[in-house]
Structure 1
Amino acid sequence: MKPFLFSSLLVLTTTVFFAQSTPDHRTCGTDSVHAHMMGLPGFSDAWKDKVDAVNDNLISVANRGECDDPLIIPVAAHFQNTGIPIDCAIEMALDQVEIMNADFGGYNDDIATWNNLQPQLWPAISNAESCICFCLATLNHPDGFGLEDGDYAVTIDQTDGDNDGAWSGYLNFWVRTIGGGVLGYSPLGGNGNGDGVTVDPAYFGSTSCGGNTVSPPFDLGRTMTHEVGHYLLLEHPWAGGGCASSDDVADTPVTDNPQFGCPNDEIINCDEPILWPTYMEYCDDPCLFMFSAGQVERMETYVTQNLTNLLDNSVTVCQESACLDFEVDVNFSDETCAGNDGLIALEATGGTEPYNFSIDGGAVMTSNTSFNGLSENTYNVYVIDDFGCEFFQEVELERDDPTIVVADLQHEYCSDGAGLIEVDVQENSVFEYSIDGGLSWQDSPVFPALSSALYEVLIQNNTGCSGS
């Protein structure tokens, strides 16, 4: 019965309000939310069982290449009493999702800072690129919110608090004023049954618009990266506080307090250098730029064990998921000397049939997969399936050079002017020939009555194919 009890408890609304003030450093409300949840009947035992299951079955990321099976999590963003208009809200949500994908995937621009500092400050710690990625949902939205297929899952003043069962199957972003210096908060280990992460609009993404200003030094979107880390079961590195505490991540050094501001050098605490660049610290956004390998292992394990409802839902609500297996094989042959005989052949697989094809960037679409009679040029291949999955590739067709061999060569004898050159053009086309630099042309490939000299035979046909 424990799993059932745990599932039931987690859908309780845990809206948290803090007194309004201007933050002078990062503060996260997750510890307060978690302390409240741990006081609910039965929650503590169920939560500990879930943590033990993760700790006992960590998925290793060591020596892993690219992600063959990304863990796609669908996102919905709900703006509550912010006054931010829908166009701006969508722009902010897309920006935040893009930031999180870069941060979790380890391709954020400032990862270079980690690469520069790591060998000297943290030689035994490696960062990792997570297979977790996020999409702002666009399909099969819940009823009652006025959203159609193709619309982004962004709502304005249609939800309250930090839980809405209609949005089960999504990682929800609750964007509303929090106050009290708190930038955001999350359940410590979310469940995807209508819960989510709450953030103040002043720290959501990096885009200022619609009367909302994203405030430095928390204006790079790292507040949500931090809070979603909590949602995926990462604790603060100092955990409960004190040098005997643990965040259950093997490669994050023990520390007893958060770090603020923007360090740039080694800070020793509890006998180890603090890993202040991890997104789970309290530093300013410019000084948070990595997840450790252990943190990535913990998050991916949590997702695969506890958030399969989100992964399953992504297949129907995220175009990115539906397009994962959509591929197009492109084959082509260049134009020969015969002219206008280049070919581009396309084969689409996966996705959703029927497919439509184009070689001019989509200006003219057809169900035909083969394009022949082409000349030397650059073609913009575009393929789209019935679901809207798209494929682009630039194909450059060249003109084959004619192959010319000397069929016969006879030197003159004692200046008798009886030399001869005969060439053979190994192309299926009619050519004309010149031996005087193009001043005169003839139909025959044979040039007799030649004196001793250096000759260059030129050839050309009526399609413009030429050579020597």
Structure 2
Amino acid sequence: MEKLFPDTPPEQRKEAFTGFETWLKKNISQKHLKKGTEEASSVYVIPVVVHVIHNGEDIGDGSNIPAEQVLSQIEVLNQDFRRQNSDRENTPDVFNDVAADTKIEFRLAVIDPEGNVLDEPGIDRYNGGRDSWNDTQLDNDIKPLTSWNPTKYMNIWVADLGSSLLGYSSWPKSSGNDGVPIEAGNDNQDGVVINNLVFGSNYTNYGSFDNLSDDRYDRGRTCTHEVGHFFALLHPWGVVGGCSDDDYCDDTPTTSSDRDDVFSPCEFPDPDKPNTCTDDENDLPDMFQNFMDYTADACMNLFTMQQSERMQAVMENSPNRNELLSSQVITPHFAPSNLVITGNALEGYTIEWTDNSLNESGFIIEVSTDPYSGYTAIASIPANYTSYEASPGDGVFYYRIKAINQSGESDYSNPQATPNILPPDAPINLSVVEYSQDSILISWENVSDLATSIEIYVSEGSSDSFVLWLDDVSGNQDSIWVTGLSSETLYAIKIRGTNSAGDSDFSGTVLVTTLPYPPSASTGLSVLFDDDSRRLRLIWNETSDNEDGFEIYRSLDSLSGYEEVATVAANTSQWLDITFYPPPLSLYYYKIRAYNEGGYSAFSNIGRYDAISELEDAPLKSSLFVYPNPVSEVLYLNAVMDVDQEVQVLLTDITGKAYENIVIETESKVLYYEFEADKYPPGLYIVQVNTTKGRGAIKILIQ
């Protein structure tokens, strides 16, 4: 958010927020008065367009990121803002009571500003004609050319921003005053900008992505953070920082500054700095898990209730935010529900329903004599209507309704029958098909065709404290995922059919315990030569408390060919590799991962045993020359040997991962080689040359 305050003195920064915060506080107070009304359960759906700024690469290469990477980021946004993120269970107990489902969802746009259906939903690809951008270039050159109407789309620009800028966002405007005067910006600059090196996640079902190579920022939380700014969230340390500053949310503990010093294993309270503000004896430890801090992605897992209130108040009242809720560039938000039919065949029927969308242009009403086929449209009525009068005559009739707009249509409501029908029979053969950490797939058999919907009841534990979990399951459906559950928890589930005449008996009850989440990755893996046994000993930091064991893998080159060499028990932090004796002048790479019933952790860092490195080739070291350094394109290697020989040349990053591993025959005692440096990710590398006498090595920086 520092982009909002270029060269602005601290007191002026704080003063800049006065008007906006006064306006926002008033709207939050008004929202509190509405607690308990239907507004409290509203879901805010935001249409999104992602402008992928590239330099002419094919889709999927370089800056022209694949659609799957965009989809992974939208999935993360929806999980984080609805508190469906799998790591929500890492929220410390002391913060669980304030952790919030913000009730904000994001959907990729279906149509462009001209009304054309997008080939790739929500994606606008633009060739900017350059490799990388700074914020001034994006704001002044790219945004005005590519921005879509900010009252209909939340614009997200994804581009190569280099190595120093992760992302930034425009600030919302307050109605009737300028709000934050700096970076209020023009409408064609309104939106979020994210570096393509941190956009998307390697932890969704869409796979992993080559440019998300920094494990500190590979879970999509930079975008979550910046979208928080887009909806008026401040950092926990406030506008300028310090324990006297304020983010205007009382449920985020006072924090003096950012906590970018916190990373995996995210120990809480942080053992080095548990609480940066201690003047108030009641102040809690720093909430570094908040999405608005600067901690590593793996350590973030919550918004708070008051942060949620700020964002909701902005969406309901701020220009360019409020209009998004009624934008028709996505299909109607949700299907109509709670369909109720009253009356009789003689006097006619009244059909009533709940309108769950803010962006429909109308409703289509259909009727049939069969609950699940043969429907005919009988009426089209305007938006915001929630009732209709029908006189179909004698017999049993079924009605269903869908919302429509220019982008398409919602799902149908569950059908409902006219009230001259019998209640359905109970479903049978309820069973558990599959389950995960937070979801259970159940199936059943319908023995009656009279049910228009199925109700799912869930109880935590085997008690009889069942609650209605789902009530909008179609009556002809015979399976569903029950979601939103907790890990490692015993659940009881039962179901029943319903229609306008009443409810069936309950089915039988099934019991299942959800899986644990996979353990966290181990860190600090090192490989040492054990003098007593003449074997290799691995030592690592165990960061998880729920693993069942560890798998250990070994390789000769760190690029490929890893094979599993052992499985060791839980709560282990070292292992002696008794499977072989390492030969002289050998090089081996190891990595480990923890596992449990719920899956595998990510792999640890790569640990390396390098017997060659113990010997130094002095003549080689004195003549070894690698240039230019830093390098962005071609890297040249020169050295003079005392005799011609075969030389091994390695290029590794600082974790030991090898990117080149070749053998070169010298000619006239001269070693020469060229690296194509521009094909490697930017960062610090080591060029290592291994000869018959030993080795030489030089660190290089690839930009």
Could you tell me which amino acid in structure 2 is paired with residue 74 of structure 1? P
Q: Distance in 1 between matches of 2:369 and 2:218?
A: 42
Q: How does 1:23-422 map to 2 (within 5 A)?
A: 30-31=1-2, 33-36=3-6, 47-58=17-28, 59-60=31-32, 67-81=40-54, 83=57, 85=59, 89-114=66-91, 117-118=92-93, 121-122=94-95, 126-139=98-111, 141-143=112-114, 147-148=116-117, 152-157=121-126, 161-162=138-139, 163-164=143-144, 165-169=147-151, 170-189=153-172, 193-194=187-188, 195-206=190-201, 207=206, 212-213=211-212, 215-239=214-238, 240-259=240-259, 260-262=262-264, 263-266=266-269, 267-271=274-278, 272=283, 273-307=285-319, 309-320=320-331, 322-324=332-334, 326-327=336-337, 329=339, 352-354=362-364, 366-367=376-377, 387-391=408-412, 396-398=446-448
Please report how far the alpha carbon of residue 225 of structure 1 lies from its aligned counterpart in structure 2 after TM superposition.
Answer: 0.8
2:170 partner letter: P
Q: Under a length normalisation based on structure 1, what TM-score does the superposition of the two structures give?
A: 0.60
**Structure 1 297/214 Cα, relative in aligned 2: closer, same or farther at 3 Å?**
farther
| Cα distance, 1:313 vs structure 2 | 3.9
Q: Please identify, of 361-370 and 183-192, the stretch whose mean Cα deviation from structure 2 is larger.
A: 361-370
Deviations 1:123-172 (A, max 9, x none): 8x611221332222213x224xx942685231111677243354322221
Q: Which string of whole-angstrom CA distances, capped at 9 and with x for unpartnered residues, describes residues 96-124 of structure 1?
A: 2222122112222222222xx22xx448x
Counterparts of 2:449 and 2:233 in 1: how far apart (Å)? 58
Question: Equivalents in 1 of 2:42, 2:449: separation in Å?
Answer: 41
Task: Name the amino acid aligned to 1:177.
Answer: D
- Which has the greater radius of gyration? 1
Kindly state the Cα deviation for residue 95 of structure 1 after the two structures are TM-superposed: 2.5
Residue 44 of structure 1, CA deviation: 8.7
Instruction: Note closer, same or farther for the CA distance 1:269–1:85 as it changes in structure 2 (3 Å cut).
Output: same
Report the RMSD for the aligned CA atoms in angstroms. Answer: 4.3
Query: What percentage of residue pairs aligned between the two structures are identical?
Result: 23
Range with bigger deviation, 199-208 or 384-393: 384-393
Letter of the 1:80 partner, please give it: I
State the alpha-carbon separation in 2 of the partners of residues 310 and 69 from structure 1.
15
1:84–1:348: structure 2 CA closer, same or farther, 3 Å change rule? farther
**Do the aligned residues in 2 keep the contact of 1:188 with 1:234 (CA within 8 Å)?**
no
The answer on whether the counterparts of 1:204 and 1:214 sit within 8 Å (CA) in structure 2 is no
Is residue 47–residue 330 contact of structure 2 (8 Å, CA) maintained in 1? Answer: no
Change (3 A) 1:323 1:280: closer
| 1:341-400 CA-partner distances (Å, limit 9, x unpaired) | xxxx9x796664445689999997654899x999xxxxxx99766532113769935289
The residue type equivalent to 1:148 in the other structure is: V
- Greater strand content: 2
Contact 1:357–1:383, Cα closer than 8 Å, also in 2: no
Structure with more relative contact order (C-alpha pairs < 8 Å, separation 6 or more)? 1
Contact between 1:78 and 1:156, CA under 8 Å: does it hold in 2?
yes
What are the ranges of 5 or more consecutive residues in structure 2 without an aligned counterpart?
Answer: 129-136, 174-183, 342-348, 379-389, 416-423, 425-445, 451-703
- Distance (Å, rounded) in 1 between the aligned partners of 2:276 and 2:14: 30
The structure-2 alpha-carbon separation of the partners of 1:233 and 1:38, relative to structure 1 and needing over 3 Å to count, comes to: farther
Which range moved further: 208-217 or 164-173?
208-217
1:261 corresponds to which letter in structure 2? Answer: F
- Output the CA distance in 1 between the equivalents of 2:367 and 2:22: 51
Number of matched residues? Answer: 341
Q: Distance in 1 between matches of 2:369 and 2:118?
A: 28
SS in 1 for 2:197: helix
Alpha-carbon contact 2:5-2:13 (below 8 Å) kept: no
Instruction: Give the whole-Å Cα distance in 2 for the aligned partners of 1:354 and 1:57.
Output: 35
Evaluate the alpha carbon distance shift between residue 348 and residue 135 of structure 1 in structure 2; reply closer, same or farther with a 3 A threshold.
farther
Look up the SS of the partner of 1:268 in the other structure: coil
Q: Following the alignment from structure 1 to structure 2, what is the Cα–Cα distance between the partners of residues 389 and 36?
A: 45
Structure richer in helix, relative to its length:
1
Distance in 2 (CA, whole Å) between partners of 1:358 and 1:89 is 44
Mean alpha-carbon deviation: is it higher for 183-192 or for 229-238?
Answer: 183-192
Unaligned 5+ runs, structure 1: 1-29, 332-344, 375-380, 401-468
- What TM-score, normalized by structure 2, do the two folds share? 0.41
Paired residues of 1:89 and 1:154 also in contact (CA < 8 A): no
